[in-house]
Each structure stands twice: as structure tokens, then as C-alpha cells.
Amino acid sequence: MISPPLATFFEPGPANSTRWIHTVVRLRYLAGLEPAYYAMVGAETVLLILSFGLIPVYTRHIWRRKPVHENLIFIALQQLVVYEVAIVARLVIILYESGLVEIEGVGFEPVATMNIIRLVHYVHVVVFCIVVFLERYLATRYVHNYEKQRRLHIPVVINTILMIASIGYGFRVVYAQSNAYFWTGVSLLPNSLAVFGFCVILERNELRLRRLNDHLSRQFYAEYTLSLRLQLKENIWSIRETRKGLLLLFSFFVPCALLIFLPAVLLRSPDTRTLLELFVAAGNLFMATGGPIIGIGMCVINERARALLLPSFILKSELEERRASIDEYFEILISMWEDAIGKSFEKKRMTAADCLY
């Protein structure tokens, strides 16, 4: 074991075993502060139920409209399904940690298994940048026929490996065999490489598209097809928008990770245990805001996301405003065109008159 887990969150489990449970609040340490805990967990529950109801709606819209390539959609859908299951797991945990349902200890079932499920979702979020990069790299590698051939084995293999790895990670962490904080830090290296890889494949797609658009080079470029051109544009758009989405995800994930990690490292003394449990509750509340915050953020930075996620009446008003601005633009353009034609006709008439004179 490279780095042992923090002893702060060790809990006794069945058959004298040990479990490591780090995102469950121990209410026994919050004597006198129960109202603050119940206020936070109440707000968290509302946010979780809101996200739980919105995810199927978003999933249906994404599947019906298919704003990106089908393989990338399959990868995104697994992320949403895992998030949905993780929400249910957290709601079950709340029943036990709040005392609504009696349990022998947080190291016993079903809390331990529910914590594994939450860790599965955590791994999916942490490595999302990596799996999207792999899919976009393959889309760049096979760009000449990626749109025509479905290649469903790509998302199947990626999703299967990711699911097996995340389940294994969840078991090792909960069964006190791995340090979750250490491996989160290690994951920064492949994620950084994936960000650099996005820049490389973006430049490669843009270079190839420029070659297609160059009329002088096109006659020497025998692979030109309309589907190739469309796929290159799709690759460029999806990579650029993915970078925006990953930046949004990173902006949310960093303060969330710090809120969970730093208190556990700094507040190890028994005298600060009450404060640590309050931070655990605050961390759970902050994570529950992820669904609404990221959904709103995607609507702000991505036009296709607005078409998928915004209510129809909001989208309709936005389209009407855009259509009005487009109509105004074309009215100005037509006016300029008519004015230019009129001036040209007047000039020709004057020239003809001069010739006759």
C-alpha cells in the first residue's frame, strides 16, 4: 500500500472488519448542532431530488436530438445513469445517518455499499476528461469514415473498463485498502495529459480542414468527401465545446475536492471532530449543487446545450429574438443592395446619356 487511508474515518464493520467511510456524517459528534445539520441535509435532499427528476428529461432530449456523435452520447449517458444511481445511494445514506432508520453503525450494510456506489460515480467524474479524449482521438484517427461506420465497440469497451475500474476502486477504498485522497492526486497527471492531447487533436483536425478548404490543394487531395468535411467540423466543434465543459467541471470539482480533502487532513484532533463533521455535511451539500450548477453553466457556454436543457418557452423567446435580429440584418442588407443597384443603374444611365451627347 503506497499511502494508507486516514484513520479519522475508520468505522467497525461486520465480523470485526474495518470500513473507511468518509462522506457520511456521524451525528453523535454534533450534539447541540443538530438543527444546523438538519438544515444542510434538508437543502441537500431538495437538490438531489431536483437533479434526480431532471436527469431523465435531459437523457431523453440528448438521445432524441443527438447533438454530437453517437459514441460520445453513449459515454455521456453512462455518466448520467451512474449519477442517477449515486443520487439514490446518497438519499438512502441520509435515512441512516440522520437517524430516521436505525443501523448498528455506518460501517455496516447498506451504508457501506451505498458509499461504494457514490465512489463509482466519483471515479466517473474524475476520469471523464480522459475517456472523452480517447473517444475524440479515435474520431480523429478514423475521421474518413467515423460518421458512416458506427463502431459501437468503442463506447462499449470504454464504458465497460471504466465501470469495472470504478467498482474495484470503490471496494478498495471502503474496505480500507486504498487512500482515496492519494489516488485523486495521482489522477491529475493523466487528466493533464488528456488536456494537452485535446490541443493536439484539435490542431490536427483544423489543419486537415484547412487543407480541404484550400482550393489549390484540393486537387491533389484525393480523400475529399462531404462526409469527411462534416466530420472534421464536428470534431473541431465537439473538442472546443468539450474543453469549455471540462473547464466548467474542473471549476466546480476543485473547490468541492478541497472542501472534502482539506478539513479531513487539517482537523484530525478529537477536539475538532465536531467541526470536521460540519465540513462533511457542507461537502455533501456542495456536491448536491453539482447537477443544477453544471446544467446552468452548460446552457450559458453552449448553444446546443441551451436547445437541449432549457424549457421550451424560454428557448422559444430566445429564438424569436434571434430571428428578429436576423430579419433586421437582412432588411439592412437588402436596403444596401437596392441602394447599390440604384446607384449602378443611375451611373450607367448617365454614361449612356453622355455617349449620346
Work out the percent of the chain whose per-residue pLDDT is above 70. 79
Taking only the tens place, the pLDDT of each residue in 100-122 is 998 888 899 999 999 999 999 99
Could you give the 3-state DSSP secondary structure of residue 12? strand
Which value, to the nearest 10 degrees, does the dihedral of the CA atoms of residues 150, 156, 157, 162 take? 140
DSSP 279-323: HHHHHHHHHHTHHHHHHHHHHHH-HHHHHHHS-HHHHHHHHHHHH
Stated as kind and residue range, the H or E segment containing 39 is helix 34-65
Band of the pLDDT at 179, cuts 50, 70, 90? confident
- Residue type for 345, please? F
Which option is the CATH number for 7-310: 3.40.50.970, 1.20.1070.10, 3.60.20.30, 3.30.2000.10? 1.20.1070.10
Helix axes 128-141, 70-97, angle to 10 degrees: 170
Which stretches of 66-127 are DSSP H helices? 70-97, 111-126
Instruction: Say if strands 18-20 and 10-12 run parallel, antiparallel, or are unpaired.
Output: antiparallel
Give how far the C-alpha of residue 196 lies from the chain's centroid of Cα atoms, to the nearest Å.
18
Taking only the tens place, the pLDDT of each residue in 26-66 is 999 998 899 999 999 999 999 999 999 988 887 887 787 77
Residue 80 near residue 291, CB atoms below 8 Å:
no
